[in-house]
Amino acid sequence: MQVEWWAGLAVIAYLGVLFAVGNRTARSGSMQDFSLGGRRSPWWAVAFGMIGTSLSGVTFLSVPGWVGDQQFGYMQMVIGYLFGYAAIMGILLPLYYRLQLTSIYRFLGDRIGQRSYRTGAGFFLLSRSIGAAFRLYLVVLVLNETLLPATSELGGWLRLTLLIVLVLGAIWAYTQKGGISTVVWTDTLQTACMLIAAGTAVWLIGQSLGLSLTEIPHAIADSGHARWWFLDDWGAGNHGAKQLIAGAFIALCMTGLDQDMMQKNLSCRSLGAARLNMGSFAFVLVFVNLLFLGLGALLLMHMEATGMEAGRPDLLFARVALEGNLGVTLPVLFLLGLFAAALSSADSAITALTTSVCVDFLGMETETESAPAEGRRRKRVHLMVSATVGLIILLFHAVNDTSVIAALFKIAGYTYGPLLGLFAFALLRKSTPPNLDPWIPLVAVLAPCCGWALEQWASAAGFSFGFAILPVNGFLTWAGASLVAVCIKKAEAPA
């Protein structure tokens, strides 16, 4: 039987398990249960599932492929993540639990005003919709060429569209009632599948190179692909200091200021459990990223040893797994892990996006709508959000010409930067003038525009902020809001 058939059967069986989990974990179907799962999620399941959500198909494919250009330089950012997670544990989680928030952007409304609240939620919708689409893009691209070989006469675009509908339809089906209660457990299963696939790949490729498990780390270290720190060129975007700072702020923003990631933490039973979850997640994430970077080095070593031609870096893992003559086990596990990566990156994102639309923009958390009517309304929003993510994937497919992980972090620098600046302003300022709120949307839009112009000017002079553009945009947003607040106070002061 062909690999594609074995992989197809594995995916069908996997979907059956997910639907069973979704049916088992579905609660009353209320907005509160959909968003926070009754705050009954065990911390260890949340922590393990968050690994899959954080990694997703981007790590599964792009990080191993990145080793060819950046070696282990990605670890500069990963180490920076730890500082961001520490700030989340010490500052943001206590704040969110003290205020008993369902949507974390309500904090901006309480401190500044309703327009600030909607602005923060709007930037989350933009950021997470693009992020979810980016994370799914490479996954469906690979699955399109492997699981649907019998439909080649339909054409690439139609096949891709059918696969997107399949993946997003499956996610909608198993999360549409249980919400975060379902996602916590399905992401745990999906993380396990991803790590089993990656670990098996390391073992099998090491065997093909004549290496035992104990010899693999030494071989990687001597391969010429394992350099961690890049400190030579201060103007380069991958300079260690920039990457470390960028990693700290990316973790702070893409986890601590992101409704998707925080929704899981807020579903824990207590602040202590949420902190334990975050600390465990941060610790394990370092070693998981090392696993994927080590896999990337082994993939390059395998290609050098077999004479395989280099192709698109994002597809390096796929090419070796499917074309490297390494037996049936690796291709099947690769495709199953890839499918798990697709679902783990999208199911929690779509659940969080649905929560944000319902709570932040439709006010469903406070409305007294009947339970059946509320459920139908939420399911319609859930379906609309899924369709929007699918359309963004198709748009990205039409224009993409860069590494997905690089594109993801580049976009994040401009969409999460305003969130960082607004939360910093709300946290650090004791009081805000009442007339400030209407100016916040303008400040939040102008700040990343100024950041982009600054990056272009710096690039012309031979300097790049790289991924550290995120804190730059955050500073510009904070500075803009502070300047407007000062101007309003001066204008309102008695002559």
pTM for the model stands at 0.81
In the chain, where are the structural domains located?
3-402
Q: Is 198 helix (H, G, I), strand (E, B) or coil?
A: helix
The confidence band for 26, taking pLDDT boundaries of 50, 70 and 90, is low
Tell me whether residue 399 is exposed, middle or buried, using C-beta atoms within 10 angstroms of its C-beta: 0 to 12, 13 to 18, 19 or more: exposed
The confidence band for 32, taking pLDDT boundaries of 50, 70 and 90, is low
The pLDDT assigned to 231 comes to 73
The pLDDT assigned to 402 comes to 46
The confidence band for 237, taking pLDDT boundaries of 50, 70 and 90, is low
Identify the weakest region by mean pLDDT among 139-143, 225-229, 283-287: 139-143
User: For 431-447, what is the mean pLDDT?
Assistant: 91
pLDDT digits (tens, 9 = 90+) for 345-372: 677 788 888 888 888 888 776 555 556 7
CA quadruple 351, 356, 362, 367: dihedral positive or negative? positive
Q: Is 257 helix (H, G, I), strand (E, B) or coil?
A: coil
> Quick one: fold of 3-402?
Sodium/glucose cotransporter (1.20.1730)
The pLDDT assigned to 150 comes to 47
In DSSP notation, 437-474 reads GGGHHHHHHHHHHHHHHHHHHHHHTT---GGGHHHHHH
Give the up-direction half-sphere exposure of residue 474: CA atoms within 13 A in the CB hemisphere: 25
CB 231 within 8 A of CB 238: no
For residues 352 and 350, give the distance between their C-alpha atoms in angstroms, rounded to a whole number.
5
CA 324 remoteness from chain centre = 29
DSSP label at 311? Answer: -
Q: Which residue has the tokens 């992401």?
A: 187
